Each structure stands twice: as C-alpha cells, then as structure tokens.
Amino acid sequence: MQKKSTAKSQLTKLATRIEKALERVNSLCDTTPTPKYSAAPDPTILKDLLAESQDSDFWMNFRKAAPIIFCMAVEGDEQLKAQRDMSFIEELLKTRSILQLLNGKLQEGSADIDPIDYSTATTILENKLAILTALNISVEGDGDDKVSFNLFG
C-alpha cells in the first residue's frame, strides 16, 4: 500500500512540474512569432521519449557556449541568424508538443507511464525551456494602455 501511495505522490509531483512547464512554454509561444497552426503532437514521440527530448545538432551549441553569447556571435551573419531563429522556433514547438503529450498521458492516468523516463525527460525539457526563455527577445504585453521594452546591456 505504501508503494502505491508513494508512486501516486511522485506522479502527482511530476504532473505539477509538467503543467508549470506547459504554462511557460505556452506563454513563450504566445510572445514568439511562430506559426499559429502546428501539427498535433505525435504520440509516437513517447516511444523514444529520452531521445526525442535531447537537443538537435544545432541546439547543442547552446549547451557548449552561453546562449546569449552564442546568439550575439551569429548576429553578423544573415544565414546564421536565420538558422538560429528557425532552431529557436523548432525547439520551442517541439518542447511544447512533448510537454502536451506528457501532460495528456498523466491526465488520462495511462498505465504505460515510466515515471523515471518521464521525470528525466521533464528535467531535460525544463532546462531547455529555461534557455528558450532567456533567449526570448520578443516584447511582451503591449496594448493600448501598456507598453513594455526589452533592455539590453
């Protein structure tokens, strides 16, 4: 009985982490010029969850160098800027898709959940989301009665 309640408690904590990450990624998507349409999350991603959560080749650069410095380094080259921007959008949308799938599985109480894989993947995605949030350069929350600015330096 103790094991079941501990496992349920761990899944509840994991569900809370995923929900918070989903809120962050959705907020970031709202302030990033991404397509308003995207494919529904592909459930087959969950079959190889850890591999799908890992970084793409270009995104690995962000782990090797400080994200802001790396992004500033490519500012002078239009092709690199375009690749950086596309990589940002791709990683943002993929992160959101995986979080949506994880959240859906936890909400439906699916029996095929591996808590260790889900927890590890969530940690990877939370780290990626922190980088995406740090790199977000969109001005948030402008409106008729409010103007906001991003300050650099």
Query: HEC string of the chain?
Result: CHHHHHHHHHHHHHHHHHHHHHHHHHHHHHCCCCCCCCCCCCHHHHHHHHHHHCCCCCCHHHHHCCHHHHHHHCCCCHHHHHHHHHHHHHHHHHHHHHHHHHHHHHHHCCCCCCHHHHHHHHHHHHHHHHHHHHHCCCCCCCECCECCCCCCC
What stretches in the chain show pLDDT beneath 50?
Answer: 139, 147, 149-153
Please tell me the predicted confidence (pLDDT) of residue 66: 61
Please tell me the predicted confidence (pLDDT) of residue 20: 93
